[in-house]
A and B are shown apart, each in its own frame.
Chain A
């Protein structure tokens, strides 16, 4: 979304549009491939509203299949843009790195292996249960991310670093195969969350 609202009317339309987006189910995967810059939200005068809008934009990344597939509610990851259950059927096991007979790293190498179309990263594994986002609204995901009991004991700054710089997270923008990359760039996603934190880390409704 690249509109540059210049008038109040346009801003209200823009906000209304955002409000519509918030109510879209998290797993719709219909996000556009771009991310707005933090600056483009400057026109939203109310800080809380601006904060929520920034998170909503970052939410295009969080709810994208590349992220949601490995933040499942249950024990099984999903795969592909269609987000079907991972085939072969694998499960998180005790440590999120798979059951003994099917450890993630056995198939998922350190890098994407294009001849087989298999994605790869040295840290390939499932997010823990408490970080499962599947079936949640963006508002719920926001609260979850902020909650140290459910976000691995992270501070808000840690979250900004995690999304903006973590190597496994970064895979989402270069997934290989026929997988759609997450929108924008990792740096842009980090910047949005950084701006979100600086505006009070307000969650959308």
Chain B
């Protein structure tokens, strides 16, 4: 299992800490890698025949897989005993923190170590910029947010830990002093996105973010709140220009014009929790002898996590500064964004450093996970849409978003921008003006979560569209058809999508579906039976990709034809390992049986270097830096933004293509005895794999194993390692391989021959995506539409979803059953957001540590139309269409469809989420 070579590679960080990989000696226990590289050569690979996922067997047999499964005794080379840590967190963020009273934990229950802010200051930790804010609330300061850690308690024995946490559970051990009110801070971010189209579709925009740049408003001196108005000031003229156009748009919307209908509405959405089923947990062990810190974590952002921990300890005093940090990344029990850039690993690293020589486990229970896990913001949206009555077309659109962020910034600024530029959904408008501001508060930290801020404005939008259609009146599908953005038309950011836009087909499917066609008849049938029946529809589009995504992979084939893949994506349930195996199989004829995910150290042969920030770098700097043949705008990115299919599998596909073209194909030619100058030698693109055999016109099929064996003996290319960067387009470069030029959508390449080592190739003519694309906003998008029929009990307001239908498009689906599964899961999560889930923001909310799943109610099977939910996936536009990421889009239209269905059934239009049974009952009396 796994390689028998020991990889020992050093990578010096700027802190002088070596982030290294050392494969620990195999004891009787399989090592971590053996458990996490699936399916493994001894195990059945369900993916080999399309019968399941690569992690199928591991997950049905309860194999150790998740970070929460591991204890020290499971890790070869670690001391056997696991100690346990707990975080004491603030439940008050408006009074001075005045110390903790641990007298309850006296005698046998006393913790071995207590770590506070003062200890961190003493040893010289640094908080990474992304997580700015005290890791522990210092004494005599007001906690920054509800749930802010105050102290870390470490217990040598589990039994003492268990008794201690029980003793502390209902106790008030944190002392608070005088009231100060919540700490006020400047808004995390504010932006304005304004577009005014030119006189004709071909004419350039008069103004747009893509054309003119992104702008932020000035701020009031005292509160820091944005000044949205255009001010006659000499500075900030870029903003003033946008504001000028924006104010004109709003004036037009406000004008009295009987030929036009303008609706202006407020919509509120609630704070929600991703509620992945595995609470965050991690292991740490600091070996003071070797000065090495070992960590086992489950995160969506492994590289950033490793960098953050290195930075945290990089300037610490000698006893608390590791010389090496080795992080191992596990499969996760769900993520949904909540494990992307989570501060949790920082705390477990500290636990390890403050308890040298002894492995420590830090694990949230569900109270703690709800108290401290990253949330999705509550959002207040004020939206105005103006429609020309005669044509039914939108002439202008304006919106103001206020995101209620929490105590730490995390991704809030980015979420605000992504949400803002999604405000117009699938539609086109020639005049658009959207402001957004992200406001800090004492609430629990908000950051990345499925939808990334777009679910909220698109729900508000689709509900507004529904109301617009009633008011005009105009058929809801026809309105959408008339206003859908067409391919080549510019979005509100002023750019165009570079992928297929299939809104018309989605709308056709929605219109033709029986749920839609039968809506009047079903309503009437319901009336007779005394039930309120309603039908709702919504259609949305969600970007995939972040605009600074990386793909890294190494693909190898052994003499038996078995394929191994190492790549950087992480597994949160999205089957990315199976997806990459399937995509590679297209080129290599076999499904990999060793797939290692979350790799951060496997790509050192590429010797990548980076500098600058890919989101903000200017073109000249990028061009200069690119002259270094090893420079890339970014090395790694997190598993986020539905990137698994499109981004995560890209480098592996490119590596596999190289192996085929320059390794397996020449070998096959040898086996077929075809000379290099034979015209058939050039027809590698006509070859096909079928049942593990390579077939080419008029040639006998060759088994993959035979080709691989021969490739090894002739010392041909048997492995490839590649990196690529994507800023709404992939980077591209030329490589000379065996005397031939190869142009591919990658920016770094290393090759392996036979059983040798990976050797880097120099690139030529590298073209990174232009930096202007940083202003474009997303250009990759996927659409999804949903229909629901609801039945509401007149007396109780109880709502039953009788039928549901979601239709989506995802380009080429790499694992079709998983696409359907994601759509079913997205439907359930949408139901939760629409009808069930809510979290108060402040002292009554989960920051008080008292919330568990009895209070935070997510959708169960009985809440869903399990046998009446139909998912349809459109076939790709052609055989070459790339995969699209759909993990998020499948959740979004469900929410508005439900709110619209409730209106159809009850006549009441709700403009806040969730819409609970009590609220429905309230409008029925």
Query: Which A residues contact B (CB, under 8 angstroms)?
Result: 79, 84, 87-89, 114-115, 178
In the complex, how many angstroms separate the beta carbon of A134 from the nearest chain B beta carbon? Answer: 13
Residues on B with C-beta less than 8 A from A84 are 854-855
Is A89 within 8 A of B860, CB to CB?
yes
A71 to B854, CA, bound (A): 20
A115 to B161, CA, bound (A): 13
Residues on A with C-beta less than 8 A from B854 are 79, 84, 87-88
A119 to B862, CA, bound (A): 26
Is A178 within 8 A of B857, CB to CB?
no
Q: Within 8 Å of chain A (Cβ to Cβ): is B853? A: yes
Binary CB contact string for chain B from 841 to 864 against chain A (1 if under 8 A, 0 otherwise): 000000000000111010010100
13 contacts between A and B (CB under 8 A): A79-B854, A84-B854, A84-B855, A87-B853, A87-B854, A87-B855, A87-B857, A88-B854, A89-B860, A89-B862, A114-B166, A115-B166, A178-B170
In the complex, how many angstroms separate the beta carbon of B703 from the nearest chain A beta carbon? Answer: 50
In the complex, how many angstroms separate the beta carbon of A72 from the nearest chain B beta carbon? Answer: 14
CB-CB nearest in chain A for B162: A115
A88 to B855, CA, bound (A): 10
Residues on B with C-beta less than 8 A from A114 are 166
In the complex, how many angstroms separate the beta carbon of A152 from the nearest chain B beta carbon? Answer: 28
Residues on A with C-beta less than 8 A from B855 are 84, 87
Q: Which of B862-887 contact A (CB under 8 A)?
A: 862
Q: Known contacts A79-B854, A178-B170; can you find 11 more A-B pairs with CB under 8 A?
A: A84-B854, A84-B855, A87-B853, A87-B854, A87-B855, A87-B857, A88-B854, A89-B860, A89-B862, A114-B166, A115-B166
A79 to B852, CA, bound (A): 14
A114 to B853, CA, bound (A): 18
In the complex, how many angstroms separate the beta carbon of B693 from the nearest chain A beta carbon? Answer: 49
Number of A-B contacts (CB under 8 A): 13
Output the residue of A84, A87, A89 with the most chain B CB within 10 A: A87
In the complex, how many angstroms separate the beta carbon of A102 from the nearest chain B beta carbon? Answer: 12
Residues on B with C-beta less than 8 A from A89 are 860, 862
The 8 lowest CB-CB distance pairs between A and B, nearest first, are A87-B854, A115-B166, A87-B857, A87-B853, A89-B860, A178-B170, A89-B862, A114-B166
A100 to B862, CA, bound (A): 16
In the complex, how many angstroms separate the beta carbon of A8 from the nearest chain B beta carbon? Answer: 44
A18 to B855, CA, bound (A): 35
A88 to B861, CA, bound (A): 12
Residues on A with C-beta less than 8 A from B853 are 87
In the complex, how many angstroms separate the beta carbon of A176 from the nearest chain B beta carbon? Answer: 11
Residues on B with C-beta less than 8 A from A115 are 166
A178 to B857, CA, bound (A): 20
Q: How large is the interface on B (under 10, 10 to 19, 20 to 34, 35 or more residues)?
A: under 10
In the complex, how many angstroms separate the beta carbon of A49 from the nearest chain B beta carbon? Answer: 36
Residues on B with C-beta less than 8 A from A88 are 854
Binary CB contact string for chain B from 152 to 186 against chain A (1 if under 8 A, 0 otherwise): 00000000000000100010000000000000000
In the complex, how many angstroms separate the beta carbon of A17 from the nearest chain B beta carbon? Answer: 31
In the complex, how many angstroms separate the beta carbon of B846 from the nearest chain A beta carbon? Answer: 15
Residues on A with C-beta less than 8 A from B857 are 87
Residues on A with C-beta less than 8 A from B166 are 114-115
CB-CB nearest in chain A for B917: A85
A114 to B855, CA, bound (A): 19
A42 to B857, CA, bound (A): 50
A191 to B857, CA, bound (A): 42
CB-CB nearest in chain A for B862: A89
In the complex, how many angstroms separate the beta carbon of B498 from the nearest chain A beta carbon? Answer: 46
Residues on B with C-beta less than 8 A from A178 are 170
In the complex, how many angstroms separate the beta carbon of B722 from the nearest chain A beta carbon? Answer: 48
A115 to B857, CA, bound (A): 22
In the complex, how many angstroms separate the beta carbon of A174 from the nearest chain B beta carbon? Answer: 16
A84 to B853, CA, bound (A): 13
A115 to B170, CA, bound (A): 11
Residues on A with C-beta less than 8 A from B862 are 89
In the complex, how many angstroms separate the beta carbon of A178 from the nearest chain B beta carbon? Answer: 7
CB-CB nearest in chain A for B853: A87
Q: Which of B379-435 contact A (CB under 8 A)?
A: none
In the complex, how many angstroms separate the beta carbon of A111 from the nearest chain B beta carbon? Answer: 16
A39 to B40, CA, bound (A): 79
In the complex, how many angstroms separate the beta carbon of B269 from the nearest chain A beta carbon? Answer: 23
A79 to B170, CA, bound (A): 19
A88 to B860, CA, bound (A): 10
In the complex, how many angstroms separate the beta carbon of B279 from the nearest chain A beta carbon? Answer: 16
Residues on B with C-beta less than 8 A from A79 are 854
A87 to B862, CA, bound (A): 13
Residues on A with C-beta less than 8 A from B860 are 89
A84 to B860, CA, bound (A): 17
Residues on B with C-beta less than 8 A from A87 are 853-855, 857
A84 to B836, CA, bound (A): 14
In the complex, how many angstroms separate the beta carbon of B153 from the nearest chain A beta carbon? Answer: 18
A89 to B853, CA, bound (A): 11
In the complex, how many angstroms separate the beta carbon of A68 from the nearest chain B beta carbon? Answer: 18
CB-CB nearest in chain B for A114: B166
A100 to B881, CA, bound (A): 50
In the complex, how many angstroms separate the beta carbon of B271 from the nearest chain A beta carbon? Answer: 19
In the complex, how many angstroms separate the beta carbon of B842 from the nearest chain A beta carbon? Answer: 18
In the complex, how many angstroms separate the beta carbon of B870 from the nearest chain A beta carbon? Answer: 26
CB-CB nearest in chain A for B856: A87
In the complex, how many angstroms separate the beta carbon of A194 from the nearest chain B beta carbon? Answer: 36
A25 to B857, CA, bound (A): 27
CB-CB nearest in chain B for A86: B854
In the complex, how many angstroms separate the beta carbon of B864 from the nearest chain A beta carbon? Answer: 14
A178 to B854, CA, bound (A): 14
CB-CB nearest in chain B for A79: B854
Q: Which of B260-297 contact A (CB under 8 A)?
A: none
In the complex, how many angstroms separate the beta carbon of A14 from the nearest chain B beta carbon? Answer: 37
In the complex, how many angstroms separate the beta carbon of B323 from the nearest chain A beta carbon? Answer: 41
A79 to B860, CA, bound (A): 19
In the complex, how many angstroms separate the beta carbon of A65 from the nearest chain B beta carbon? Answer: 15
A2 to B860, CA, bound (A): 48
A178 to B850, CA, bound (A): 11
A114 to B166, CA, bound (A): 9
A89 to B855, CA, bound (A): 12
A162 to B853, CA, bound (A): 35
A87 to B854, CA, bound (A): 5
A114 to B162, CA, bound (A): 13
In the complex, how many angstroms separate the beta carbon of A84 from the nearest chain B beta carbon? Answer: 8
A77 to B857, CA, bound (A): 16
In the complex, how many angstroms separate the beta carbon of A119 from the nearest chain B beta carbon? Answer: 13
CB-CB nearest in chain B for A117: B169
A101 to B170, CA, bound (A): 32
A130 to B239, CA, bound (A): 70
Binary CB contact string for chain B from 229 to 252 against chain A (1 if under 8 A, 0 otherwise): 000000000000000000000000
CB-CB nearest in chain A for B170: A178
In the complex, how many angstroms separate the beta carbon of B919 from the nearest chain A beta carbon? Answer: 16
A84 to B854, CA, bound (A): 9
A178 to B855, CA, bound (A): 15
A89 to B854, CA, bound (A): 9
Residues on A with C-beta less than 8 A from B170 are 178
Binary CB contact string for chain B from 166 to 210 against chain A (1 if under 8 A, 0 otherwise): 100010000000000000000000000000000000000000000
CB-CB nearest in chain B for A80: B854
CB-CB nearest in chain A for B857: A87
In the complex, how many angstroms separate the beta carbon of A73 from the nearest chain B beta carbon? Answer: 12
A146 to B854, CA, bound (A): 36
In the complex, how many angstroms separate the beta carbon of A115 from the nearest chain B beta carbon? Answer: 5
In the complex, how many angstroms separate the beta carbon of A177 from the nearest chain B beta carbon? Answer: 9
In the complex, how many angstroms separate the beta carbon of A161 from the nearest chain B beta carbon? Answer: 34
In the complex, how many angstroms separate the beta carbon of B925 from the nearest chain A beta carbon? Answer: 16
In the complex, how many angstroms separate the beta carbon of B539 from the nearest chain A beta carbon? Answer: 33
Q: Which of B81-124 contact A (CB under 8 A)?
A: none
CB-CB nearest in chain A for B860: A89
CB-CB nearest in chain B for A85: B857
A184 to B170, CA, bound (A): 24
In the complex, how many angstroms separate the beta carbon of A203 from the nearest chain B beta carbon? Answer: 28
A87 to B836, CA, bound (A): 13
A88 to B166, CA, bound (A): 23
In the complex, how many angstroms separate the beta carbon of A63 from the nearest chain B beta carbon? Answer: 21
